[in-house]
């Protein structure tokens, strides 16, 4: 088994890259998907979030109001840390459970752990390899404006609330540039996946 961390900034193209790896035969564990699962009504993480942030973070049906929470944490680093302290231990616990399940079925698995905060949480230290999905800031802003219907200033604030991609580069074994065409991104993913398979085979 080879455990590979996949990370990048907001609107860097990480989801596209993750799906490409999955299409090639990698197993993907998505931290965002886990985070969505563990904040469903009735789960302890949601109760803890309401305790910390108040009932205004809930929609009338009892589900988490993600937009409201996102706005609150992007404006306040302290609130962001509070939310991370609630979610991250539970995310990593579930990641480990899923990883063990995959390895039982396929001991030679290449497992991609897709996590935006891989570096910030120091989870990269647990990985055999780290891939950074990189993009230039102009493209990142443009994608974010289109995807989330933000103003340019709001998009920039969200990008700047994260660890800069240039800082993340020093932790990466592979840097994958998504500013390029779809075909070029696919070629980069295929090349990296072949190398990861070789590393796993040599374990």
**Domain segments of the chain: what residues?**
2-201
pLDDT given at position 76? 87
In this predicted model, what pLDDT tens digit does every residue of 19-75 receive, in sequence order?
999 999 999 999 999 999 999 999 999 999 999 999 999 999 999 999 889 888 878
Please state, in angstroms and rounded to a whole number, the distance separating the CA atoms of residues 193 and 129: 11
Q: Is the dihedral of CA 82, 161, 94, 63 positive or negative?
A: positive
Please state, in angstroms and rounded to a whole number, the distance separating the CA atoms of residues 29 and 6: 10
Taking each continuous run of H as one helix and of E as one strand, the counts in the chain are 9, 5
pLDDT given at position 145? 93
Question: For residue 5, what are the β-bridge partners?
Answer: 113, 130
| Whole-number average pLDDT of the chain | 94
Q: Is the dihedral of CA 121, 123, 124, 130 positive or negative?
A: negative
Return the exposure string of 12-23: e unless at least 16 CB atoms fall within 10 Å of the residue's CB, then b. Answer: bbbeebbebbee
pLDDT given at position 190? 98
Fold annotation for 2-201: Rossmann fold (3.40.50)
In this predicted model, what pLDDT tens digit does every residue of 147-200 receive, in sequence order?
988 899 988 888 888 899 999 999 999 999 999 999 999 999 999 999 999 999
In this predicted model, what pLDDT tens digit does every residue of 103-144 receive, in sequence order?
999 999 999 999 999 999 999 999 999 999 999 999 999 999
């Amino acid at each position: 088994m080879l455990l590979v961390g996949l990370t990048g900034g907001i609107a860097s193209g990480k989801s596209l890259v993750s799906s490409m790896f999955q299409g090639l035969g990698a197993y993907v564990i998505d931290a965002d998907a886990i985070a969505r699962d563990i904040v469903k009504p009735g789960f302890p993480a949601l109760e803890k979030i309401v305790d910390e942030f108040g009932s205004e973070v809930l929609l009338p049906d009892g589900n988490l109001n993600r937009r409201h929470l996102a706005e609150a944490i992007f404006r306040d680093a302290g609130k962001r840390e509070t939310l991370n302290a609630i979610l991250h231990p539970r995310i990593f616990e579930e990641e480990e459970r899923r990883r063990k399940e995959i390895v039982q079925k396929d001991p030679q698995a290449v497992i991609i752990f897709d996590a935006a905060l891989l570096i910030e949480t120091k989870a990269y230290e647990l990985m055999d390899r780290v891939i950074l999905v990189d993009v230039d800031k102009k493209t990142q802003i443009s994608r974010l404006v289109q995807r989330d219907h933000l103003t340019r200033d709001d998009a920039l604030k969200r990008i700047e609330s994260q660890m800069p991609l240039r800082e993340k580069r020093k932790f990466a074994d592979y840097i994958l540039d998504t500013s390029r065409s779809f075909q070029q991104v696919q070629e980069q993913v295929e090349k990296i996946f072949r190398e990861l398979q070789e590393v796993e085979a040599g374990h």
